[in-house]
């Protein structure tokens, strides 16, 4: 959904109960500032491909003093953290990509905010039945480059296929759940009814996304609505003709 979780509050709550907090920060790394001291996280993980580096490379931060055990006993690589030969070229490429992305983080953030506003305003102007899974408000903090929403009247899988047919890539959830056609655990946790949860789509912006791309996506949605209306008209004509 793009919601930014209040990790500082969560970590403080958990630490009072001697519970460690690990956070998956792949979507926030190089998108917004991530300070381990401010967040209070005991561990966090980031991934290379989210900052335009090669796939299959990542990094984990573990706060000094936190005890951990290797997944596979007897591991020698990376101080016993992970087995297998270290991917030096991949790690080097990851570092280079991360530095490049972080150096333009503020400018790209403003760009994502503008693209998000363009999509939401365009959907409203065109009277498209689009609503946010987590509405924007003073109490919700979201990443501007992720729009989790419902395109009402259409299942997310159908919307995704129609967009793909026209050269636009969106998803119906995170990449981790690709191929899973039931409502996600996130939708269930938000207590979204199943029929509505199946209409969920996830739109993500990248550094190469332009306002023209956003308009093309809105065009597809508008075409889908017109095609749906034409289909209803055709059915009525056939019914009256018979």
Q: What is the pLDDT of residues 167-202, one digit of tens each?
A: 999 998 755 555 556 788 889 888 999 999 999 999
Identified catalytic residue from 25, 149, 163, 176: 176
Residues 6 or more apart in contact with residue 214 via CB below 8 angstroms: 115, 118, 119, 122
Of 1-15, 74-88, 129-143, 225-239, minimum mean pLDDT range: 225-239
Domains and CATH numbers, the chain: 7-103 (3.40.640.10), 106-241 (3.90.1150.10)
For range 222-231, the mean pLDDT: 80
What is the band of 81 on the pLDDT scale with cuts at 50, 70, 90?
Answer: confident
Q: pLDDT digits over 204-215, tens only?
A: 999 999 999 999
Q: Is 207 a catalytic residue?
A: no
- The CA-based angle 194-199-200, given to 5 degrees, is 100
- What integer is the mean pLDDT of 146-153? 94
| CA–CA distance, 104 with 207 (Å, rounded to integer) | 10
Residue 73 — pLDDT band, cuts 50, 70, 90? confident
pLDDT category, 233, cuts 50, 70, 90? very low
pLDDT attached to residue 229: 63
Instruction: Give 156: exposed, middle or buried? Use CB within 10 Å, 0-12, 13-18, 19+.
Output: buried
148: pLDDT strictly greater than 50: yes
Q: What is the pLDDT of residue 234?
A: 47
Q: Provide the pLDDT for residue 138.
A: 55
Q: What is the pLDDT of residue 63?
A: 94
Residues facing residue 23 across a β-bridge: 44
Please report which confidence band the pLDDT of residue 19 belongs to, taking 50, 70 and 90 as the band edges.
Answer: very high
pLDDT at 179: 56
Look-up of token digits 């570092």:
95
Residue 68's closest CA among 58, 86, 57, 82?
Answer: 82
Categorize the per-residue pLDDT at 237 as very low, low, confident or very high, splitting at 50, 70 and 90.
Answer: very low
Beta-sheet pairing, 58-62 with 146-151: unpaired
């Amino acid at each position: 959904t793009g919601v930014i979780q209040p990790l500082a509050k969560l970590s403080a709550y958990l630490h009072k109960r001697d519970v460690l907090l690990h956070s998956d920060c792949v979507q926030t790394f190089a998108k917004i500032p991530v300070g381990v001291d401010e967040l209070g996280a005991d561990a966090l993980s980031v991934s290379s491909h989210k900052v335009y580096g090669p796939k299959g490379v990542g990094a984990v931060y573990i706060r000094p003093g936190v005890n951990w055990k290797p997944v596979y006993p007897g591991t020698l690589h990376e101080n016993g953290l992970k087995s297998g030969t270290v991917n030096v070229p991949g790690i080097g490429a990851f570092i280079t990509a991360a530095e490049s992305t972080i150096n333009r983080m503020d400018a790209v953030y403003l760009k994502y905010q503008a693209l998000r506003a363009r999509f939401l305003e365009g959907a409203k102007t065109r009277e498209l039945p689009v609503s946010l899974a987590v509405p924007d408000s003073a109490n919700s903090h979201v990443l501007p480059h992720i729009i989790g929403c419902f395109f009402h009247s259409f299942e997310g899988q159908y919307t995704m296929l129609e967009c793909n047919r026209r050269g636009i890539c969106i998803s119906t959830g995170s990449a981790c759940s690709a191929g899973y056609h039931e409502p996600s655990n996130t939708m269930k946790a938000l207590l979204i009814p199943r029929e509505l949860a199946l209409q969920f789509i996830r739109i993500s912006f990248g550094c190469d996304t332009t306002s023209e791309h956003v308009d093309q996506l809105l065009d597809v949605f508008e075409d889908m609505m017109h095609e749906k209306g034409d289909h209803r008209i055709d059915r009525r004509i056939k019914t009256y003709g018979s």
